[in-house]
A and B are shown apart, each in its own frame.
Chain A
């Protein structure tokens, strides 16, 4: 076989390989989109949600990990309440563009307009997406890996050039066995810190007590 023929054969092989790989990649990508769509569809059935959570923070700032417990409430389209019970009572209530914050230490209610607080806005926006299952909208900012073994699992790697890239290494979301809601979220930060949320006793589409959206400072 002449050298020219070998060259042509190698080129054809490379071309065919790249063609096939491209197809596989496209296929993989469309599979992923389909899976994310499926998850979104399932979670779109959730109109209200009440769940307990345990949050563990491993931070370089502290010698020991911090454990936080509390409740999370969600009411679509845009209400979201974060009640922390231990180690310090805290309430964060988000309704559309406004956040009301209170903690037992200061016993003061702080009102924040997300429009005027870009960092808080980003955090709230991301949390809302992770908790409500709006994962398709994260595809532009994250490389997403879908895994399904015993539990369905999603891994998000921030894309270079995004704001999340500078802070977050990856986010791991594991779904409950019945795939109705999230079992845990783990956020690994670039500085080595990590935070994990474990959700349990999750109740879906229940009538939420209006009190969960209220913040009442205590009488001193």
Chain B
């Protein structure tokens, strides 16, 4: 039945050969041109699982303005210049940064208006004094306390900075409102940089660095615009005097660096693979036309990339980076067909078509398991690999038989087989050796850990990491913060949720600190309530009571009768403004803090609470988040854990599916349990060799390595199937030579990835190299021995 089908297939090929070739040529030319228009995405998100928590975190980071900033840290590289020179240069750079890619440049805080800003804030304070705090204030309005505060004020007036103090004493003699400045300062200190202000600029504590914060509309993941932005900034930096060094800090640089490194890696990989594969094919197979065996997978990838892009849209650079490996995979089938062709022409090709198709189906089965993944990058990988395999096998079957069959070039396969097919007499010794080796690697693989750190997938250059390290040291941003986010469509609702969260966090966190703006910026409703309570408190004869006390006790220190007039004059200012609905402007001090704690995304709002990114606190915050609707946690560590759990689940699922598919396809196609077990020996061996080797090399298993392992599994089952077929039928089609060449080409394809700088590609490379090598050794030497011991005997 199968043979009839193949005969029909080759008959059709033969009949329409020229038309098919022209059609393939046209499709290829079209695909090559279309290749330049395919949109690529080097975003690591594509390779990460899409669970709800992770998606929320990513959405938040995308919508909030946290990631869309670039920070410039300027420093002096000579002792001849002073901080004033540094400030002048920072100002020069700030003024020069004029581009649609930069919305504005924050250089610091204007100190000139600081006193007005503080006064402005003090007028606002009644809006945030709670009922309990008002009760405390009431307790303080007594002779003893008033006397003590007035004495304190008198002493302050003797001090050198009395000029700044006198206004505050007049406006707030009992320090009722001024104490809230501490609350404000604590909020700033809890989350900010170690920074001081000099001439309105952010200056480091050692006065050797100045910081500029650039707000940009360019998203971190937009590599094209990011490149324009970073190039523009670098051009402006070049114009600065040579005594200034500038560190550029921002996610955009990671995007570009990753893209550059991946591009370089791909170029390096393609060149290395060409240099390895071409001589191999030409000198071993002794034909220049063997180049076609090598070029077919490349043609297949070009067409497959276009088709995948047409079906899915944007392609992941990581997935495309694996194209070299896919080339290594599909070239295997070409080698088998080529050698069969050389051995016995079309009839031999027909003979080996069945094991080839078994190999193709099992390999496709492995990659098909990636369709069941929730990770978009994996799905792309499944589509790309399966399409590549289908196109490759089609092209091989169409092109190779027609192009290569020439009697004069007939290769002496027997001679080749004799060279590579070693008849080993010590079958038992080989089987025993395999058991020992596999046992050793199983033993070592026990201690292997799983690495879930997403930052390990960041292949940015050392220069970027060094700049970040310098930045953290200078500006004190080493501590990582987690965020408790309250979200909603309306600001008032979000503020209420935030207030509630703040209350629960105060109860739950105990002595552990957290920074929430609710204490100084509650909801409008709460502020209004506070204000009315404040006004009615003073109207309830407490104003007269305090006035009398201040006059009586103030006389002791020589305070004038009018000394505290400003306090009483402004007692109801905020309340009256509220009554007249004029109170709609936030004090400047709060407005600047709001940028950090409240985010307007355009479609809604986020209120953010910051706390140390420790597991115990994240767990507490999560408990609160479960109680309060529309809240979630953003924690770098938690995100890594969440990804780890998801990846682990995902990979486990894929491994099960792939395992079941392989076994099912192998049993179905081989129709024999023992033969299936033999065919699976390279698979089992490669898995444990990878795990054991990783453990011995001190690596942890990670997502890219697991994915590569699945690819290895798909290839090793091919080797198993071919060798088992060869043992069964003694095909004489150069099976061992073909498997050897296949393994060498695949190891070359995967091995060149060891040259890659990017960690993801490197892990894929090392996994491929170890897995394929061990799988091949078992297929070539262990399967024949086991076959003779188990099947023949």
State whether A191 touches B558 (Cβ < 8 A).
no
Give chain B nearest CB distance to A115 CB in angstroms: 4
Give chain B nearest CB distance to A25 CB in angstroms: 25
**Can you name the residue of chain A whose Cβ is closest to the Cβ of B200?**
A163
Please tell me the size bucket of the interface on B. Answer: 20 to 34
The distance in angstroms between the C-alpha atoms of A101 and B653, with both chains bound, is 67
Give chain B nearest CB distance to A162 CB in angstroms: 6
Give chain A nearest CB distance to B598 CB in angstroms: 24
State whether A120 touches B161 (Cβ < 8 A).
yes
- Please pick, from A62, A92, A103, A189, the residue contacting B558 in the complex, using a CB distance under 8 A: A62
Question: B560 contacts which chain A residues (CB < 8 A)?
Answer: 60-63
Can you show 19 pairs from A to B with CB atoms below 8 A apart? A59-B157, A60-B562, A61-B170, A62-B559, A66-B157, A66-B158, A87-B158, A92-B159, A103-B155, A114-B196, A122-B164, A124-B160, A124-B161, A127-B160, A163-B112, A163-B115, A168-B163, A189-B163, A195-B163
Interface string of A79-94 (1 = CB under 8 A from B): 0001010011010100
Given A92-B160, A103-B155, A195-B163: A60 in contact with B112 (beta carbons within 8 A)? no
| Residue B151 lies at the interface, judged by CB distance under 8 Å to chain A | yes
Q: A60-B563, A61-B563, A167-B164 are in contact. List 15 more A-B contacts (CB 8 A).
A: A60-B170, A61-B157, A62-B558, A63-B559, A66-B158, A92-B159, A124-B161, A162-B112, A163-B113, A163-B115, A166-B116, A167-B115, A189-B163, A193-B163, A195-B162
State whether A167 touches B163 (Cβ < 8 A).
yes
The distance in angstroms between the C-alpha atoms of A162 and B558, with both chains bound, is 33
In the A-B complex, the 5 residue pairs with the closest CB atoms: A115-B196, A123-B161, A163-B112, A62-B558, A61-B563
State whether B563 touches A123 (Cβ < 8 A).
no
| Residue A116 lies at the interface, judged by CB distance under 8 Å to chain B | yes
Given A68-B158, A88-B155, A163-B111: A123 in contact with B558 (beta carbons within 8 A)? no
**Can you name the residue of chain A whose Cβ is closest to the Cβ of B162?**
A57
State whether B163 touches A123 (Cβ < 8 A).
yes
Give chain B nearest CB distance to A64 CB in angstroms: 6
Question: Among the interface residues B162, B163, B167, B558, which one has the most CB atoms of the partner chain A within 10 A?
Answer: B163
State whether B159 touches A90 (Cβ < 8 A).
yes
A-side interface mostly: mixed
| Residue B169 lies at the interface, judged by CB distance under 8 Å to chain A | yes
Question: B115 contacts which chain A residues (CB < 8 A)?
Answer: 119, 163, 166-167
| Residue A105 lies at the interface, judged by CB distance under 8 Å to chain B | yes
Given A105-B155, A163-B111, A166-B115: A82 in contact with B160 (beta carbons within 8 A)? yes
The distance in angstroms between the C-alpha atoms of A57 and B155, with both chains bound, is 13
Give chain B nearest CB distance to A113 CB in angstroms: 8
Given A61-B166, A105-B155: A118 in contact with B114 (beta carbons within 8 A)? yes
| Residue A215 lies at the interface, judged by CB distance under 8 Å to chain B | no
Given A103-B155, A166-B116, A187-B163: A118 in contact with B558 (beta carbons within 8 A)? no
Please tell me the size bucket of the interface on A. Answer: 35 or more
The distance in angstroms between the C-alpha atoms of A92 and B158, with both chains bound, is 11
The distance in angstroms between the C-alpha atoms of A116 and B167, with both chains bound, is 21
Give chain A nearest CB distance to B116 CB in angstroms: 7
Question: A90 contacts which chain B residues (CB < 8 A)?
Answer: 155, 158-159
**Can you name the residue of chain A whose Cβ is closest to the Cβ of B156?**
A103
Give chain A nearest CB distance to B326 CB in angstroms: 58
Question: B167 contacts which chain A residues (CB < 8 A)?
Answer: 191
Question: A64 contacts which chain B residues (CB < 8 A)?
Answer: 558
The distance in angstroms between the C-alpha atoms of A59 and B158, with both chains bound, is 11
- Please pick, from B111, B112, B166, B205, the residue contacting A59 in the complex, using a CB distance under 8 A: B166
| Residue B404 lies at the interface, judged by CB distance under 8 Å to chain A | no
Question: A60 contacts which chain B residues (CB < 8 A)?
Answer: 166, 170, 560, 562-563
Interface string of A171-203 (1 = CB under 8 A from B): 000000000000000010101010100000000
State whether B164 touches A123 (Cβ < 8 A).
yes
Question: A116 contacts which chain B residues (CB < 8 A)?
Answer: 196
State whether B161 touches A166 (Cβ < 8 A).
no
| Residue B532 lies at the interface, judged by CB distance under 8 Å to chain A | no
Q: Which residues on A are within 8 Å of B, measured CB to CB?
A: 57, 59-64, 66, 68, 82, 84, 87-88, 90, 92, 101, 103, 105-106, 114-116, 118-124, 127, 161-163, 165-168, 187, 189, 191, 193, 195
Question: A62 contacts which chain B residues (CB < 8 A)?
Answer: 157, 557-560, 563
Give chain B nearest CB distance to A90 CB in angstroms: 6
State whether B197 touches A88 (Cβ < 8 A).
no
Question: B205 contacts which chain A residues (CB < 8 A)?
Answer: 115
**Can you name the residue of chain A whose Cβ is closest to the Cβ of B194?**
A115
State whether A161 touches B112 (Cβ < 8 A).
yes
State whether A119 touches B112 (Cβ < 8 A).
no
**Can you name the residue of chain A whose Cβ is closest to the Cβ of B116?**
A166
Question: A187 contacts which chain B residues (CB < 8 A)?
Answer: 163
Question: A57 contacts which chain B residues (CB < 8 A)?
Answer: 157, 162
The distance in angstroms between the C-alpha atoms of A114 and B166, with both chains bound, is 20
The distance in angstroms between the C-alpha atoms of A127 and B560, with both chains bound, is 28
The distance in angstroms between the C-alpha atoms of A163 and B118, with both chains bound, is 13
Question: A66 contacts which chain B residues (CB < 8 A)?
Answer: 157-158, 558
State whether A119 touches B169 (Cβ < 8 A).
no
**Can you name the residue of chain A whose Cβ is closest to the Cβ of B151?**
A105
Question: A103 contacts which chain B residues (CB < 8 A)?
Answer: 155
Interface string of B63-88 (1 = CB under 8 A from A): 00000000000000000000000000
**Can you name the residue of chain A whose Cβ is closest to the Cβ of B170?**
A61
Give chain B nearest CB distance to A58 CB in angstroms: 11
Q: Which residues of chain B in 169-198 are interfacial with respect to chain A, using CB atoms and an 8 Å cutoff?
A: 169-170, 196-197
**Can you name the residue of chain B whose Cβ is closest to the Cβ of A115?**
B196
- Please pick, from B157, B164, B166, B563, the residue contacting A119 in the complex, using a CB distance under 8 A: B164
Question: A87 contacts which chain B residues (CB < 8 A)?
Answer: 158
Question: B159 contacts which chain A residues (CB < 8 A)?
Answer: 90, 92, 101
Question: A59 contacts which chain B residues (CB < 8 A)?
Answer: 157, 162, 166
State whether B111 touches A118 (Cβ < 8 A).
yes
Give chain B nearest CB distance to A92 CB in angstroms: 6
Question: B116 contacts which chain A residues (CB < 8 A)?
Answer: 166
- Please pick, from B157, B160, B558, the residue contacting A63 in the complex, using a CB distance under 8 A: B558
- Please pick, from A61, A63, A123, A166, the residue contacting B112 in the complex, using a CB distance under 8 A: A166
Interface string of B548-581 (1 = CB under 8 A from A): 0000000001111011000000000000000000
Question: A122 contacts which chain B residues (CB < 8 A)?
Answer: 111, 164
Question: B113 contacts which chain A residues (CB < 8 A)?
Answer: 163, 166
The distance in angstroms between the C-alpha atoms of A118 and B159, with both chains bound, is 16
Question: B196 contacts which chain A residues (CB < 8 A)?
Answer: 114-116, 118, 121
**Can you name the residue of chain B whose Cβ is closest to the Cβ of A101?**
B159
Question: A88 contacts which chain B residues (CB < 8 A)?
Answer: 155, 158
Give chain B nearest CB distance to A127 CB in angstroms: 6
The distance in angstroms between the C-alpha atoms of A162 and B112, with both chains bound, is 6
Question: Among the interface residues A61, A161, A166, A195, which one has the most CB atoms of the partner chain B within 10 A?
Answer: A61
The distance in angstroms between the C-alpha atoms of A87 and B154, with both chains bound, is 11
